[in-house]
Amino acid sequence: MLCVKRKNLIFLGAPGSGKGTQANFLSDKFGYEHISTGDLLRAEIVSGSVLGSRVKRVMDSGDLVTDELVIELLRGNLDLESCYYIFDGFPRNLKQVQTLDKEILDGRDYLVIYFKVDTEKLVNRIVNRRVSEDGKHIYNLLTNPPKVEGLCDVTGSNLVHRKDDTEEVVRNRMSVFIKEIEPMLEFYSTKGNLLEINADLGIEEVSKLVSGQL
């Protein structure tokens, strides 16, 4: 699909804030390429590489993998000359923010959307999250269940409960997020390209709010 929009988008938000769901929807609707560093890392694990087994331990604990590794993986999967991207799950700290701004996007225009959610509600949301085997279709057993239990509506594949979507790991992921997010928001707010969305609303309302800004 051709990219019809003229700006790259960066989606920020706590785990479970709906970034991935919105990125899937908007990439289909507007022709963005959706790039998720979490998906790239999970693909590395599935490939059975040495790198994959190293990152698996870190991901299973809910901590961040090293900046160098994620940045290298991201660079290897981008084609900024031909496409406009939705960055989902990257950047995750100020170092990644600066690298993306100066070295990767390197003067290209971009808009940052922060999916703001009451973090108390999130643990429940994530523990009930299920994803298709390719990670592209996201469900919630309470708010957005599949039509047939355990199966993806689109691909028919089994739905997976991610190992890092258990309560203990989610709590660690949330505290990592809370520790890193403020300086990131400050960077973008100073730059003047930050938009905050109330992501406590339903999936369709959030989509409308985001679409209206593009």
Q: Does 13 bind ligand AMP (CB under 6 A)?
A: no
Helix 37-46 vs helix 67-75: crossing angle, to nearest 10: 90
Computed on alpha carbons and rounded to an integer, the radius of gyration of the chain in Å comes to 16
**How far apart are the C-alpha atoms of 16 and 18, rounded to whole Å?**
5
Choice among 136, 173, 179, 191 that is catalytic = 173
Q: Which one, of 176, 136, 180, lies nearest residue 160 by Cα? A: 136
The yes-or-no answer on residue 19 being catalytic is yes
CA dist., res. 144 & res. 203, Å (int): 9
Please name which of 164, 131, 166 lies closest in space to residue 150, comparing C-alpha atoms.
Answer: 131
38 is a site residue for ligand AMP (CB under 6 A): yes
Rounded least distance, CB 84 to ligand AMP, Å: 19
Name which position in 17, 173, 181, 194 contacts ligand AMP (CB under 6 A).
173
Shortest distance (Å) from residue 2 CB to ligand AMP = 27
Choose the catalytic residue: 42, 125, 129, 130.
Answer: 129
One character per residue 77-96, x = contact with ligand AMP (rule: CB under 6 A): ------------xx-x---x
Q: Clarify whether 54 is annotated catalytic.
A: no
**Which residues are bridge partners to 158 per DSSP?**
151
Binding site for ligand AMP (CB under 6 A): 15, 37-38, 41, 58-59, 62-65, 70, 89-90, 92, 96, 164, 173
